[in-house]
């Protein structure tokens, strides 16, 4: 079956699966990337997500290749531009990636406009459908951190300046819609508030945050914001960096499976998949897609068989019995985490 579409915004229909490209140019060669893009597109996936810092691990020698590969694919396959929804992201301040605008140091007007221009050139396109701030300009706990530390706050570019710049890019036809990534409820609401107060500022239409069987922090606060404000979740890492694929059940993953809570929860979800004769990948993706606020699940694949496992999620019917068992694992993990102060991914 063809991948169904979702109305992310007026005039913007995206497939409910989004192919992430952070491996293109590192783990995947140009030819391998083309094959993945071909198969995904043939299956009905029209939504492709990239970032100016990709591929990962990030290096000066490869920076921008993921966007370049996507642009080359569209050009060489002669795909009509309006049949593909291109999403990419501007790198937030890090101080480490000195080859990207010196760090980058901040997300001021100059940095944002330069990033947009470079992404357009790499992807050989006149416009970007969805342009996202990869992570906030200000300090926030992210990438595994959970607790906010007020002492780490530093001076940051005002949200108004970021929105003003993005609004000018929209007016110039360089981008169509804007979104956020790795944001907090506070950040989402501030971006929305300023967009309501000043008509020239664009409203965010999406939030790309992690969401999976092992990471459901979106439901604690953020879901309420997105529900009332009409912002859709683009759920990245639906397989929890590969852990939920089952490939790491007996060994090491990119996250430490020696964490007893993660290991126990993962094994329990894998047992559910086995009990109901489901692929662990398909079960994990189907769970994410069932969420009423998820517009699309952003997944990565380095091999074509992995892509096919993700596509099979649409064949999975999450019965009440399966859902009850999933929620019981989640409840046990939550109780254990509260009692031991252990954090899930």
Angle (CA) 254 144 327, round 5°: 90
- Indicate the DSSP class of residue 153: -
Residues of the chain by 3-state class (helix, strand, coil), percent to 5 = 40, 15, 40
**Using CB atoms within 10 A of its CB, is residue 118 exposed (0-12), middle (13-18) or buried (19+)?**
middle
Pick from 313, 246, 325: which is nearest to 286 by CA? 313
Domain that holds residue 188: 5-208
Please list the residues that pair with 87 across neighbouring strands: 49, 130
Please report whether residue 155 resides in a domain.
yes
Q: Is the dihedral of CA 172, 177, 178, 181 positive or negative?
A: negative
* CATH code of residue 27: 3.20.20.100
Q: Rounded distance, CA 92 to CA 89, Å?
A: 9
Q: Residue 251's pLDDT is what?
A: 47
Please report whether residue 122 resides in a domain.
yes
Please report whether residue 302 resides in a domain.
no
Total number of domains constituting the chain: 1
Per-residue confidence of the chain (345 residues) as pLDDT tens digits? 689 999 999 999 999 999 999 999 999 999 999 999 999 999 999 999 999 999 999 999 999 999 999 999 999 999 999 999 999 999 999 889 999 999 999 999 999 999 999 999 999 999 999 999 999 999 998 877 778 888 887 789 999 999 999 999 999 999 999 999 999 999 999 999 999 999 999 999 999 999 999 999 999 999 999 999 999 999 999 999 999 998 754 544 444 544 788 899 999 999 999 999 999 999 999 999 999 999 999 999 999 999 999 999 999 999 999 999 999 999 988 766 655 544 444
- Indicate the DSSP class of residue 142: -
Please report whether residue 279 resides in a domain.
no
Q: Is the dihedral of CA 178, 161, 189, 342 positive or negative?
A: positive
Please report whether residue 319 resides in a domain.
no
Q: Residue 344's pLDDT is what?
A: 44
CB 235 within 8 A of CB 213: no
Q: Residue 301's pLDDT is what?
A: 96
Please report whether residue 345 resides in a domain.
no
Is 54 a known active-site residue?
A: yes
In the set 54, 69, 201, 236, the catalytic residue is 54
List the structure tokens of 67: 């966007």
Please report whether residue 105 resides in a domain.
yes
Please report whether residue 286 resides in a domain.
no
Please list the residues that pair with 86 across neighbouring strands: 48
């Amino acid at each position: 079956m063809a991948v169904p579409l979702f109305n992310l915004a007026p005039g913007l229909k995206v497939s409910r699966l989004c192919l992430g490209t952070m491996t293109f140019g590192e783990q995947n060669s140009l030819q391998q990337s083309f094959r993945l893009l071909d198969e995904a597109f043939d299956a009905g996936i029209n939504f492709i997500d990239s970032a100016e810092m990709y591929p990962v691990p990030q290096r000066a020698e490869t920076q921008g290749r993921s966007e370049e590969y996507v642009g080359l694919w569209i050009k060489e396959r002669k795909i009509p531009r309006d049949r593909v929804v291109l999403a990419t992201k501007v790198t937030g301040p890090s101080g480490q990636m000195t080859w990207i605008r010196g760090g980058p140091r901040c997300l001021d007007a100059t940095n944002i406009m330069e990033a947009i221009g470079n992404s357009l050139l790499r992807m050989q396109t006149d416009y970007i459908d969805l342009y996202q701030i990869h992570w906030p300009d200000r300090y926030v706990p992210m990438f595994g951190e959970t607790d906010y530390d007020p002492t780490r706050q530093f001076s940051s570019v005002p949200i108004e300046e970021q929105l003003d710049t993005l609004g000018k890019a929209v007016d110039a036809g360089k981008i169509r819609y804007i979104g956020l990534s790795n944001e907090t409820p506070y950040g989402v609401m501030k971006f929305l508030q300023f967009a309501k107060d000043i008509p020239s500022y664009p409203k965010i239409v999406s939030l790309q945050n992690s969401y999976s069987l092992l990471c459901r922090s979106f439901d604690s606060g953020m879901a309420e914001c997105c529900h009332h404000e009409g912002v859709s979740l683009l759920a990245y890492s639906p397989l929890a960096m590969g852990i939920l694929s089952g490939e790491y059940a007996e060994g090491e993953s990119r996250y430490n499976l020696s964490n007893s809570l993660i290991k126990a929860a993962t094994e329990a979800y894998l047992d559910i998949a086995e009990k109901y004769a489901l692929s662990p990948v398909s079960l994990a993706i189907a769970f994410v897609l069932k969420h009423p606020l998820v517009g699309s699940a952003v997944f990565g694949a380095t091999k074509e068989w992995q892509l096919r496992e993700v596509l099979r999620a649409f064949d999975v019917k999450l019965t009440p019995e399966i859902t009850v068992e999933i929620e019981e694992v989640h409840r046990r993990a939550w109780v254990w985490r509260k009692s031991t102060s252990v954090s899930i991914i």
